[in-house]
Amino acid sequence: MVAPLNVGIAGLGTVGAEVVRLIEQQARLLSARSGRSVRVVAVTARSKSKKRDLDLRGVSWAKNALELATDPGIDCFVELMGGSGDPALSAIGAALKSGKSVVTANKALIAKHGLRLAKWAEQHGVALNFEAAVGAAIPVIKTLREGLAGTGINRVYGILNGTCNYILTRMEQEGLSFAECLKDAQRLGYAEANPSFDVDGHDTAQKLAILASLAFGTKVAQNAVYVEGISSIKPEDLRAAEELGFRVKLLGVAVRTAKGIEQRVHPTMVPKSSSIAQVMGVTNAVTIDGDGIPPITLVGPGAGGAATASAVVADIVDVARGICAKPFGRPVERLRATSKAPMERHEGGYYIRLMARDLAGTAATIATRLAQQKISIESIVQRHPDGVDAIAANGKGSPVPVILITYATSEDAVHHAIEAVQRDKVISGRPQVIRIEKN
């Protein structure tokens, strides 16, 4: 008989409690799939006395995560406390160094200390699994690390934050402002009381840094990611996107270029015909472009107790099976350093919305400044707010929205052109610029 895999879980919040339930409910299935039984034998949490809908009879309680991590009676340490430092960092380090495999859902810790932890896992011949850290139930980590191990990756991009996707979906479908949708997201529990980590793009940046490492063999470096949030997006941008055949999504994009690996998080216009454009609400999605294969898009719940617990238990089953893959798909010593790619070098199409003064010569001035930067225009929409064609109206100098879609150009050229137009005083307010990501 093969000995059971004894699991210790640190953290009994929404995810931790669901992991305990899932292991109990699916005991026979997990045993059949892994060839050995999986059982929770020890736990720890901030409060032992807190009421939980769990049967923990026969399960021992450790005083803290460090004690649990070094308990000789467990084979696999599961960290579900969160946080980018201690106690999670010390506990995981202790578990790895004592020869125990580790499963975690902690994206912040992996983004900040993943290389150090992976090195310890390799040195001690144990697993460090973190599928639940990115996209919860979407198996994107295993897809990049194992399923596409024989494929060169050119680009990975996706919707990695359900809060932002929910807000943009509501804004588009109901014509509401960012502030209105954010307030509703907080009421429904999709957004935190302080939502800046989500809506400013930092949550997506942590996940993207992990995916980029797996895709391109680079060292995880969150500080190499350009980050821009969604608070500047207006309902009129979403209406214009609709008319022009696009949708606006907050994307994390990692792409191989001639100048290196570009990593960026920002609001993005994507063609409505693309798979990623169909993903609405709190759902997440990741598209992978690889050599010799059509793009692969993985879609599913990117957060929530049940979805995250599903990924955690899948990682535990891999440990029970004896699978011990390199955490980042290759030895840590072979991961290449990466630096932040200057966004001014980025090349692609752009959506530009200007509030142009409705005066003779304004359009010509804008066109001249764009031409000076060698920017070619794919389409232009110029209207009064009431829908009257601005060119045919007798304006009196009031601002008129002018929307431009450019062919591929550089970020630097776009900014120089806009700065020149602002100096010419033919526009008012702050121009809106949104990058376009083609299929």
Residues that are catalytic: 207
Pairing of β 76-79 and β 60-61? unpaired
Contact 163, 191 (CB under 8 A): yes
Residue 388 confidence (pLDDT) above 60: no
Per-residue pLDDT band at 55 (split at 50, 70, 90)? confident
Backbone conformation region of residue 204, classed left if phi is above 0, alpha if psi is from -120 to 50, else beta: alpha
Closest CA to 180 of 162, 165, 168: 168
Cα(68)–Cα(44) distance, rounded to whole angstroms?
7
The pLDDT tens digits of the residues spanning 212-260 come to 999 999 999 999 999 999 999 999 999 999 999 999 999 999 999 888 8
Closest CA to 370 of 423, 424, 406: 406
**Burial class, 429, CB count within 10 angstroms (exposed 0-12 / middle 13-18 / buried 19+):** exposed
The pLDDT tens digits of the residues spanning 124-182 come to 999 999 999 999 889 999 999 999 999 999 999 999 999 999 999 999 999 999 999 99
Query: Tokens 């021992």 map to which residue?
Result: 60
The contacts of residue 52 (CB under 8 Å, 6+ apart) are 12, 17
Per-residue pLDDT band at 385 (split at 50, 70, 90)? low
The pLDDT tens digits of the residues spanning 357-376 come to 878 888 899 999 999 999 99
Looking at the DSSP bridge assignments, the partners of residue 266 are 251
Handedness of CA 182, 225, 256, 207 (dihedral sign): negative
Per-residue pLDDT band at 384 (split at 50, 70, 90)? low
Query: Which pLDDT score, from 0 to 100, does residue 397 have?
Result: 57
Percent of the chain beyond pLDDT 70? 96
Contact 15, 80 (CB under 8 A): yes
Q: What is the dihedral of CA 45, 50, 52, 57, to 10 degrees?
A: 70
**End-to-end CA gap in the chain:** 52
The contacts of residue 35 (CB under 8 Å, 6+ apart) are 2, 320, 321
Looking at the DSSP bridge assignments, the partners of residue 267 are 250
